[in-house]
Structure 1
Amino acid sequence: MRPAELERITVAQAADRYVELVRARTLTGALSPATAEVYARDVATLVELAGDGTVLDDLTGADVDAILVAFARKPDGRRAGGTAGDAAGAGQSPSSQARFRRSISALFKHATLAGWVQLNPMTRSTVTARQRGGLRPERRALTREQAQGLVGAARELPQAPPERSKRRDQRTELRDAVIVLLLATVGPRVSELVRANVEDFFTNDGVRYWRIFGKGGRTRDVPLPGDVAEVLQAYLERGRPQATDKALLLSWRGRRLARGDVQAVIDRVQRRVPPDQRRSVTPHGLRHTTATHLLADAVDMDAVRRVLGHSDLSTLGRYRDELPGELEVAMRTHPLLRERPAPEG
């Protein structure tokens, strides 16, 4: 039931009351302390963007749109040290934007029930993900030149001179090469990569395959390009630490890598790429890169779907990013204008 009378409180007052309620739910086990602090942080950001003296009920759908856009443009301080010309740290990731939207939506839902607002302004919000900023550059596909620069740097890692500060048993060049090459050429989800075990890789008729355990308990057997299979074999023979853990990717101490470790590896390999080919990219951005360049090279769409582990072709469209100059190339090689081969004899 809605309260009979509206209580006109400020955004700051509403935030304090709501956060107190959220933290109380941790005492009953309904929320984890970590989740409660995420809510508290997002609500504090709402107060900052809306103005602590603003009356909560005065916020309109347009105000919410402006807050969402402002949040999307806030610098993301978690990643720093991007190269000149890239957008590392320039704004919030799509996942952070979605989380922030969920947090303030929960606050307004409670505010509606508590009688702090007459109408939930989230129901009048019309701003789209694209208007909030869409995919960050790090999540978009690399161009062919950028991707070739990264792949080239990864392929050169096994021959790279060792760092003076590292002992032989601390070297990770082969492992780092495997990580980047698998991400860039096969396009697995980062969760699929870090879950991979040595036994998931097998050979059939001279072709090396990776049995990937994906979403929903589905598996797919993906053949590896020859160059990638060679680097993988070199890693297994002389780069992977001797350990009881069956994980494919191990730290030099013999522990399975975590998702966050993968980004650090990509960034480390990127530093070896020539500056004119270098651009920050996430593991998911490399998944976009795989899909984009396979499709741009006219690889069968269903084959690309099976490589990426999508259940249907409609999902694949979200991973196909626009490449500069691709329309010009397509029109230069138009199938209706190609010379027909001369008849024999």
Structure 2
Amino acid sequence: MTQAPLQPAPPMPARLGDAAPTDVRIQAESDADAVAHWLAEYQDSPQTLRAYRREAKRLLLWLEEQGAYLHDVDREALRRFEAFLAAPPVAWTGPSRPENHPDWRPFRGALSPASRRQALVILQGLFSWLVEAGWVRHNPFRLMRDKSRRLNNQQMRVERYLEGELWDWFWQWLNRPQSEDVTPRQRYERKRLCFVFGFAYLLAPRVSEMATARMDDFFSREGRIWWRVVGKGGKQADVPVPEDFLECLSQWRATLGLTAMPGHEEPTPLIRALDGQREIGDNQLYRLIRQAFNRAAVALEEENGEPAHVHTLRRATPHWLRHTSITHQAQAGINLHYLAESARHSRLDTTSRYLHTEDARWHTEQQRHRLSRTEPPH
């Protein structure tokens, strides 16, 4: 890809390798077709599908520029692609845009080490599937030295979250009184943001789960309020609702001109557009949250806040709110088993990545080790 503007691409580059395998077990005529078959396995999980499609498309676009195909990817090509992810050319980067937009680019910038690792984990799965499908002859990831360590996403400690002090400042900033001359729209937008962040912090939803939530997803059972959510992989779960969320919900419904709690059958959108009626898409919700983080970063910088906190706000994405919620719940002492249930993790070791409490205890214990092993004379 040259420095010329990148033109909008079709859903996937449709190219067929000159030496494509002959023992193929899928109905595909191009690399794009083969990848589409793989993606079809994830149709029931929209978030996973979106992430997998993004990484596969980046790889196919890169191969197209190299004049290569999936069956050409060997260990050396994989090494070059890793370097490309760490520093994509300027022509490949730009602000977030729909794919049909003339300014769309595959990247917003260089990927962090964690994002590169995630991309490689996804593509490793793609190549394993393509080998079984007979589309490629080998999986180049099998030649990667120390692969189990480099591609292990499960054991990495979660670091992308807002520390307690920063969250407290952010929540207070978000709830500061508005001036009396604000417009009704500005007042509505602020109320909506407060609800969005309260929802995200108290119940740890994914962005897609927030966007698709309905009023009657909240219900009473044995005098207790629960949130019924269909999450990753189409799995349904009931999550206990804390009291603070009920207050957030009541205030938001008052803004919408509704009673404090949803009725038994009220299948209307929970988070709504400016007209107070229509639902809001997850892409729009993502942008609203990102914009709020960026405005907060500016405000904190103007208040001479900690530079590290300003940097965190500028980097923060909506998914950081889920990390923040789970981390703070763990720090509050919520039992690991219940925390995993609320987070809807299928494995406890996934939830254990959020346990930073041991770090504090470890640090305190380490203070016993001193340069002088005896008490100084008085």
Range class of TM-score, shorter chain: 0.5 to 0.7
Once residues 236 and 69 of structure 2 are traced to their aligned partners in structure 1, the CA distance between those partners, rounded to angstroms, is 50
Distance 1:246 1:45, change over 3 A: same
Query: CA shift at 1:239, angstroms?
Result: 3.9
The question of 1:272 aligning with 2:307 is answered no
Work out whether residues 141 and 289 of structure 1, in 8 Å CA contact, stay in contact via their aligned partners in 2.
yes
Q: What runs of 5+ residues in structure 2 fail to find an aligned partner? A: 1-13, 19-27, 41-49, 98-107, 260-265, 369-378
Distance 1:311 1:107, change over 3 A: closer
Query: CA shift at 1:77, angstroms?
Result: 3.3
1:212 corresponds to: 229
Distance 1:207 1:153, change over 3 A: farther
Once residues 187 and 30 of structure 1 are traced to their aligned partners in structure 2, the CA distance between those partners, rounded to angstroms, is 30
For 1:326, give the aligned amino acid: A
**SS of the residue 2:279 aligns to:** coil
The counterpart of 2:270, out of the listed 248, 255, 263, is 248
Work out whether residues 211 and 279 of structure 2, in 8 Å CA contact, stay in contact via their aligned partners in 1.
yes
The counterpart of 2:168, out of the listed 123, 148, 154, is 148
1:61 corresponds to: 75
Q: What RMSD over aligned residues (CA atoms) do the two structures have, in Å?
A: 4.9
Once residues 237 and 258 of structure 1 are traced to their aligned partners in structure 2, the CA distance between those partners, rounded to angstroms, is 22
Query: CA shift at 1:148, angstroms?
Result: 2.2
**SS of the residue 1:221 aligns to:** strand
Between the aligned residues of both structures, percent identity stands at 19
Work out whether residues 204 and 322 of structure 2, in 8 Å CA contact, stay in contact via their aligned partners in 1.
yes
The counterpart of 1:314, out of the listed 318, 334, 349, is 349
Query: CA shift at 1:111, angstroms?
Result: 9.2
The higher-RCO structure (CA 8 Å, 6+ apart) is 1
Aligned length: 299
The question of 1:221 aligning with 2:239 is answered yes
Work out whether residues 69 and 131 of structure 1, in 8 Å CA contact, stay in contact via their aligned partners in 2.
no
Once residues 179 and 358 of structure 2 are traced to their aligned partners in structure 1, the CA distance between those partners, rounded to angstroms, is 35
Q: What runs of 5+ residues in structure 1 fail to find an aligned partner? A: 1-14, 81-87, 335-345
Q: Deviations 1:134-170 (Å, cap 9, x if unpaired)?
A: 799998222222322333233x16x334886x55498
**SS of the residue 1:172 aligns to:** helix
Q: Counterparts in 2 of 1:25-174, with a 5 A limit?
A: 25=33, 41-46=58-63, 48=65, 52=67, 60-74=74-88, 77-79=94-96, 89-91=109-111, 93=115, 96-98=119-121, 120-126=139-145, 128=147, 131=150, 140-154=160-174, 156=175, 159-161=177-179, 167-168=184-185, 171-174=188-191
TM-score, normalising length: structure 1:
0.64
Query: CA shift at 1:180, angstroms?
Result: 0.9
Work out whether residues 197 and 247 of structure 1, in 8 Å CA contact, stay in contact via their aligned partners in 2.
yes
Moved more, 59-68 or 175-184: 59-68
Work out whether residues 340 and 351 of structure 2, in 8 Å CA contact, stay in contact via their aligned partners in 1.
yes
Once residues 301 and 38 of structure 1 are traced to their aligned partners in structure 2, the CA distance between those partners, rounded to angstroms, is 32
Q: Deviations 1:206-231 (Å, cap 9, x if unpaired)?
A: 865433344554321322242x3322
2:210 corresponds to: 193
The counterpart of 1:260, out of the listed 268, 280, 283, is 283
2:335 corresponds to: 300
**SS of the residue 2:228 aligns to:** strand
Query: CA shift at 1:30, angstroms?
Result: 10
For 1:61, give the aligned amino acid: R
Query: CA shift at 1:257, angstroms?
Result: 1.5
Distance 1:199 1:44, change over 3 A: closer
Once residues 286 and 60 of structure 1 are traced to their aligned partners in structure 2, the CA distance between those partners, rounded to angstroms, is 38
Once residues 231 and 38 of structure 2 are traced to their aligned partners in structure 1, the CA distance between those partners, rounded to angstroms, is 30
Query: CA shift at 1:327, angstroms?
Result: 4.8
The question of 1:21 aligning with 2:29 is answered yes
For 2:290, give the aligned amino acid: D
Work out whether residues 39 and 53 of structure 2, in 8 Å CA contact, stay in contact via their aligned partners in 1.
yes
Query: CA shift at 1:301, angstroms?
Result: 0.9
**SS of the residue 2:195 aligns to:** helix
**SS of the residue 1:21 aligns to:** coil
For 1:320, give the aligned amino acid: Y
Q: Deviations 1:187-241 (Å, cap 9, x if unpaired)?
A: 1222322222112234679865433344554321322242x33222111012479
TM-score, normalising length: structure 2:
0.59
Work out whether residues 157 and 354 of structure 2, in 8 Å CA contact, stay in contact via their aligned partners in 1.
no
